Homo-oligomer: A and B are copies of this chain.
Amino acid sequence: MDSLSPDFSRGLLPAIAQDADSGEVLMLAWMNEDAWQRTLASGEAHYFSRSRQKLWHKGETSGHTQTVLAARLDCDRDAILLLVRQKGGAACHTGHASCFFQELKNGEVTECSPVVFDPARVYG
């Protein structure tokens, strides 16, 4: 095994971004072959935006880019895991550190991830 080749034959693949230091899962987005190649070439996470139907360099608007330290594939090569350093301390457009900020635990729903920035300031 000398390279990693995701299997894009069925279309977009889910790509998880995980904080390389804390282990926190920050977000899940989608990749096509182009996004994957640009991620590897640039060292910064690129996704395919399903809502905008185009390549999305994460942080292109907010400045909150993700430096990719490692990329992993699962056994079927149809899911991607990026280990990243998140610039600005927050991955989510809501300002939360993680997009996964709604948690159900012991029968209670709470916010489990802090708000790091004010979206109105970052996105104008």
Contacts and interface: CB of A to CB of B under 8 A. Distances in A.
A100 interface: yes
> How many chain copies?
2
A101 B81 contact: no
Contact of A81 (B3, B25, B74, B109): B25
Sorting the interface of chain A by its residue count into under 10, 10 to 19, 20 to 34 or 35 or more gives 35 or more
Interface string A23-51: 11101100000000000100000000000
Q: Which of A1, A24, A94 has the most C-beta atoms of chain B within 10 angstroms of its own C-beta?
A: A1
A81 B81 CA distance: 14
Interface string A83-116: 0000000001110100111111100010010000
Contact of A70 (B27, B71, B105): B105
